[in-house]
Amino acid sequence: MTVVDGGDTAAAAAPPPGSGQTVCVTGAGGYIGSWIVKLLLQRGYAIRGTVRNPDDAKNAHLRALPGAAERLELRAADLLDYEAIRAAVGGCHGVFHTASPVTDDPEQMVEPAVRGTRHVIDAAAESGTVRRVVLTSSIGAVAMDPSRPPGAVVDESCWSDLDFCKSTKNWYCYGKAVAEKAAWEAAAARGVDLVVVVPVLVQGPALQPAVNASLMHVLKYLNGSAKTFANAVQAYVHVRDTADAHVRVFEAPGAAGRYLCADAVLHREDVVATLRKFFPEYPVPERCSDEVNPRKEPYKISNQRLRDLGLEFTPAAQALYETVICFQEKGILPVHAPSSTLQP
């Protein structure tokens, strides 16, 4: 037996932060949900993950995570099936509600997002055991506001203009905004402790096998399907930081309100330049689709609230780099003999 001093013994014996706690993760097999499950397992939590079909091979990546065999249970639960949600949430200490439709079809986006969110809040209230619900919102609920002054900083006080979303038929942003508003209303009415994480466009390696909508944003510039890039700006964040943010706001006793999760706002030209620099072997476009209007200026965004919780953000260039490496490792992109060995 190795003899260590008392301090080391105490440190070695300290249980992980989530030991003895069970949490529910809706949409556990999704891009963000999978990373939240991975991090929660690392921190010792037992997890009930809701998915459409627990036996589907596309959830194999969850079962393969370290600790999953002992502490991960997958349950079939549709967000519109309140009894299934109530059963998944019952007895849990916390809920991470990441599941949401991702579509611009108003019928498939708005009502399911709102009703599903209300079901989660109601189930948490009814459980009598849930101490906090962490909701995954979206920058779409925050930044769609044409009246925002050019120099204004986008922060947690900002909301998308619902009339503008409707008039431009941006039903994804409309749905995320009304779903978050419904969550705040339901949480206040039911006495549920709700905290909201608001990620921007999430990039970085995927644990799940499929390419989701946010990863297509980068893939199209590498596989030849996009011949030009838009005169547009976007905020980016690493998927690992996004998962980290969810766990931090769950565990921090004083966490409250909304938390914008973002590293940097980049023009699309900067994105393709980064991709071309690290991966010159792919047909990354060099021409903007808009050669008439002035170059859009990146807006300012605050991530101060999450930095105050100790989150150190991964640079957006690193997230983009790791996204492409993930595509290569999954066989989504061919691996050519690289003409560059640069790394972020």
SS3 state at 72: strand
Given 38, 58, 176, 220, the catalytic residue: 176
| Tokens matching residue 316 | 């957006």
Distance CA 13, CA 37 (A): 24
**Ramachandran region of residue 330, left (φ > 0), alpha (ψ -120 to 50) or beta?**
alpha
Residue in 185, 28, 33, 77 with CA at minimum distance from that of residue 122: 185
Residue in 154, 133, 123 with CA at minimum distance from that of residue 235: 154
Contact 101, 175 (CB under 8 A): yes
SS3 state at 74: strand
DSSP assignment of 82-94, as one string?
HHHHHHHHTT-SE
Using N-to-C axis directions, what is the helix angle for 106-127 and 171-190, rounded to 10°?
20
169 flagged as catalytic: no
Distance CA 168, CA 179 (A): 18
**Structure letter (DSSP) for residue 65:** S
Rg (CA), the chain: 21
* One-letter amino acid of 118: R
SS3 state at 11: helix
List, by residue number, the catalytic residues: 176
